[in-house]
C-alpha cells in the first residue's frame, strides 16, 4: 500500500514536472509570439510611416511639378514678351538708323508764346500731314517765356521737340510808345534760329507761327523748293504765303513767282543765309527789317499764287491789323500738286526775267479811268501802268488788293510789277514806271 502511494506520488511529480514544462514551453511560445506580433506590428507601423512619407513626397513632387509647369508657362510668356520687345527695339533701332541716314530737308519750328489754344490748332494741322514725312521734316516747338498752358500743351506731343526761350531782362524800346512784344519776338526768333542752325546743325529751317494751318502739299512744296535754294543764291528764302492770296485773286495752285518783297508767314531759309543775318539781327520788327534793300540786296523770294499756310490769328501782337480785310479771306490750297514732277527751273534768276517779261508783254495795256471795269471786260491778261506810290495805292484800292509799300516796294511785287487774278483766270499786272525797262520790254 505504501509502495503504491509512493508510485502515485512519483507519477504526480512527473505529471507536475510535465505540466510545468508544458506551461514553460507554452509561456515561452507565447512570449516569442508576442515578440513576433509586436515586431510585426512595428514593421507594419514602419511600413505605414514609409508609405505615408512616400505619399507626402509624391504629393510634394506633384506640387513641385505643378509649380514648375506654372513657372515654365510664366517663363515661356516672359521669353515671348522679351523676344517681341527685342524685335521691336531692333525695328526701332533700324528705323532710327534709317532716319539718321536720311538727311532732313528742313527743321520746322513753330514760334509760340502764350496762346495755347492757337498752338494746339497749329500743331494738329501740322501733324495731319507731317507724320508720313517726319524724318524729312522734324518739328520743333519754340516757346518764348514761361506760360504754363503753352508749356503743358507743347510737352503733351511726344513726337515733337520742345525748346524754351527764357529771357527776363527788361526790354528798352528805341522809341517811346513802341510795343514791347515786337522786341521780344525778334529776340526769340534769333535765339530759336541760332539753336536750330548752330546747335542742331540743320541746313534749312521752315519758320511757322502758332496761329497757322498748313496745306496738304505744304511739305512737298518746300521739298521741291529746297533745290531752288541750293542752286540759286539769288533766292533769299522761299515762302508759303501770298499777301494777295485772297479767294478772289487766285486761280492756279501750281503757279509760283519771284518777289522783291519778303512775304513771311511760313518761310524757309538756309544756314548760309542765316550766317549772314544772325550777327546783325534787329532788336525789333524783324520782318520789316528783312524787307529793307540793305539787308535783302539783289535777292528775291519765291512765293506761291495760292497760299500753303492760313493765318487764323485774329488775336496777337498786331492786334488783328488787316485780319478781316486781308487775312481771313485768304484761300488755303486744298488740291494735290505733284511737286516732284514739276519743273521749277523757270524760277531761277537767268530764266525768270525772260519768263515773267514774256507774260507781262503779252498782257493787254489798259489806261485811263475805270480801269477795273475795263479790265473786267477784257478776255485775257491785262497790264495797268502806275506812275508812283500814290497812283498805285489808288488803283490797288479799286481792286481791293494790298496797298502797302515797304522801303519803296509794293507787297508781292517783282521789279515793281504786282500780279494777281481778277475773278477768273485773268491776270492783272500793275506795272511800275521802271518795270518794263527792268524787264527788258520795249515801252508800248
To the query of whether residue 287 is one of the catalytic residues in this protein, the response is: yes
| Cβ atoms of residues 189 and 109 within 8 Å | no
For cell 540759286, the residue is 232
For cell 510668356, the residue is 77
Choice among 35, 167, 232, 287 that is catalytic: 287
Q: Is the dihedral of CA 226, 228, 233, 239 positive or negative?
A: negative
| Cβ atoms of residues 303 and 259 within 8 Å | yes
Q: What are phi and psi of 384, to 5 degrees?
A: -120, 125
Give CA 127 to chain center in angstroms. Answer: 6
Please list, residue by residue across 109-120, b when 16 or more beta carbons sit within 10 angstroms of its beta carbon and e when fewer do.
Answer: bbbbbbbbebbb
Return the number of other C-beta atoms located less than 10 Å from residue 40's C-beta: 11
Return the number of other C-beta atoms located less than 10 Å from residue 274's C-beta: 20
Say how far apart CA 318 and CA 2 lie, in whole Å. Answer: 164
| Cβ atoms of residues 254 and 337 within 8 Å | yes
Catalytic residue ranges:
287
Amino acid at each position: 500500500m505504501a509502495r503504491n502511494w509512493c508510485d502515485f506520488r512519483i507519477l504526480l511529480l512527473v505529471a507536475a514536472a510535465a505540466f510545468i514544462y508544458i506551461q514553460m514551453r507554452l509561456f515561452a511560445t507565447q512570449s516569442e509570439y508576442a515578440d513576433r506580433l509586436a515586431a510585426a506590428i512595428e514593421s507594419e507601423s514602419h511600413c505605414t510611416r514609409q508609405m505615408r512619407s512616400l505619399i507626402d513626397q509624391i504629393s510634394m513632387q506633384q506640387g513641385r511639378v505643378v509649380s514648375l509647369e506654372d513657372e515654365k508657362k510664366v517663363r515661356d510668356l516672359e521669353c515671348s514678351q522679351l523676344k517681341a520687345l527685342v524685335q521691336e527695339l531692333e525695328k526701332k533701332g533700324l528705323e532710327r538708323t534709317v532716319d539718321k541716314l536720311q538727311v532732313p530737308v528742313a527743321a520746322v519750328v513753330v514760334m509760340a508764346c502764350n496762346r495755347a489754344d492757337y498752338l494746339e490748332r497749329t500743331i494738329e494741322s501740322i501733324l495731319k500731314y507731317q507724320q508720313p514725312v517726319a524724318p524729312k521734316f522734324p518739328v520743333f516747338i519754340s516757346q518764348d517765356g514761361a506760360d504754363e498752358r503753352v508749356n503743358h500743351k507743347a510737352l503733351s506731343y511726344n513726337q515733337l521737340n520742345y525748346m524754351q526761350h527764357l529771357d527776363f531782362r527788361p526790354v528798352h524800346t528805341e522809341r517811346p510808345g513802341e510795343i514791347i512784344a515786337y522786341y521780344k519776338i525778334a529776340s526769340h526768333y534769333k535765339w530759336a534760329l541760332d539753336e536750330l542752325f548752330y546747335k542742331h546743325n540743320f541746313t534749312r529751317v521752315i519758320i511757322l507761327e502758332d496761329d497757322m494751318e498748313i496745306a496738304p502739299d505744304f511739305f512737298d512744296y518746300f521739298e521741291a523748293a529746297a533745290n531752288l535754294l541750293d542752286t540759286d543764291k539769288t533766292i533769299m528764302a522761299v515762302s508759303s504765303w501770298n499777301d494777295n492770296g485772297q479767294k478772289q485773286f487766285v486761280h492756279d495752285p501750281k503757279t509760283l513767282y519771284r518777289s522783291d518783297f519778303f512775304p513771311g508767314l511760313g518761310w524757309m531759309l538756309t544756314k548760309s543765309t542765316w550766317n549772314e543775318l544772325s550777327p546783325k539781327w534787329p532788336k525789333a520788327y524783324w520782318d520789316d527789317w528783312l524787307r529793307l534793300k540793305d539787308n535783302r540786296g539783289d535777292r528775291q523770294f519765291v512765293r506761291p499764287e495760292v497760299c500753303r499756310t492760313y493765318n487764323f490769328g485774329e488775336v496777337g501782337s498786331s492786334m488783328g491789323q488787316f485780319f478781316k480785310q486781308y487775312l481771313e479771306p485768304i484761300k488755303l490750297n486744298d488740291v494735290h500738286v505733284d511737286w516732284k514732277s514739276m519743273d521749277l527751273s523757270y524760277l531761277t534768276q537767268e530764266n525768270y526775267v525772260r519768263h515773267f517779261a514774256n507774260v507781262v508783254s503779252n498782257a493787254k495795256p489798259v489806261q485811263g479811268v475805270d480801269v477795273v471795269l475795263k479790265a473786267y471786260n477784257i478776255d485775257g491778261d491785262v497790264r495797268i501802268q502806275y506812275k508812283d506810290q500814290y497812283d498805285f495805292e489808288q488803283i490797288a484800292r479799286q481792286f481791293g488788293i494790298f496797298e502797302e509799300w515797304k522801303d519803296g516796294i509794293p507787297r508781292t511785287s517783282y521789279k515793281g510789277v504786282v500780279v494777281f487774278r481778277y475773278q477768273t483766270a485773268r491776270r492783272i499786272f500793275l506795272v511800275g514806271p521802271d518795270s518794263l525797262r527792268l524787264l527788258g520790254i520795249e515801252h508800248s
